[in-house]
């Protein structure tokens, strides 16, 4: 009986110590990970809106309503995680930068950033998180694919397997239609939300 009690106490102590150690390691690594994530996002914003001197919060924008807003537009698997005002050195607004997540990826969620000027021009996109198939869906994170969206002024994109001919068309990734669709949906969701904000003149 005493041996059983001793064993239980020993196991309890080991569990408590192990939990404390894990908690310590988590707290130790939490801030560096968060800092790295923020740095990656800021670098992405600078890439998609190079003319901006800074990115600031806009009190009139509530991304908490993005899921319902986008659902009304047909984007039920997309959310806008963040939307900031891109401003010049004097604080004048130039457009918006956004972080958009879609659940339509083949390997899970895909998170992108995009920059949209006030005249409706999509300056470009960058990928923040993606876990698609190597050699297929992961080709979405290449300059060749992402560059197809840059400098376009359209209300939405479509993808094609027969060669993009119109400004709104994107060449699909070979063997990765699901990934292509996810990327196009994420970008279109961002454009739709920009239109919802009301200061973007998309056509």
Torsional class of 174: left (φ above 0), alpha (ψ -120 to 50), beta (otherwise): beta
> How far apart, in whole angstroms, are the C-alpha atoms of residue 145 and residue 127?
11
Alpha-carbon distances, residue 202 vs 119, 122, 199 (angstroms): 7, 10, 9
Query: Quick count: other Cβ atoms within 10 Å of Cβ 7?
Result: 10
- Ranges assigned E (strand) in 46-109: 54-56, 78-87, 93-102
pLDDT tens for the chain, 203 residues long, are 656 777 667 777 777 776 666 666 666 565 655 677 778 899 999 999 999 999 999 988 999 889 999 999 999 999 999 999 999 999 999 999 999 999 999 999 999 999 999 999 999 999 999 999 999 999 999 999 999 999 999 999 999 999 999 999 999 999 999 999 999 999 999 999 999 987 554 44
pTM, rounded to two decimals: 0.81
> How far apart, in whole angstroms, are the C-alpha atoms of residue 123 and residue 132?
24
């Amino acid at each position: 009986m005493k041996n059983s009690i001793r064993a239980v106490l020993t196991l309890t102590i080991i569990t408590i110590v192990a939990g404390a150690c894990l908690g310590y390691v988590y707290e130790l690594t939490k801030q560096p990970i968060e800092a790295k994530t923020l740095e990656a996002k800021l670098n992405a914003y600078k890439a998609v809106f190079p003319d901006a001197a800074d990115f600031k919060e806009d009190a009139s924008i509530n991304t908490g309503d993005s899921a319902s807003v986008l659902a009304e537009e047909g984007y039920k698997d997309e959310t806008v995680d963040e939307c900031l005002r891109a401003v010049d050195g004097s604080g004048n607004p130039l457009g918006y930068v956004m972080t958009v997540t879609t659940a339509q990826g083949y390997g899970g969620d895909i998170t992108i950033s995009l920059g949209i000027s006030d005249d409706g021009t999509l300056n470009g996109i960058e990928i923040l998180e993606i876990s698609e198939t190597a050699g297929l869906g992961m080709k979405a994170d290449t300059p060749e694919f992402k560059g197809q969206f840059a400098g376009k002024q359209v209300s939405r994109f479509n993808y094609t397997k027969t060669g993009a001919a119109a400004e709104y068309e994107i060449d699909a990734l070979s063997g990765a239609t699901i990934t292509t669709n996810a990327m196009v949906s994420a970008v279109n969701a961002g454009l739709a939300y920009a239109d919802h904000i009301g200061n973007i003149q998309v056509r």
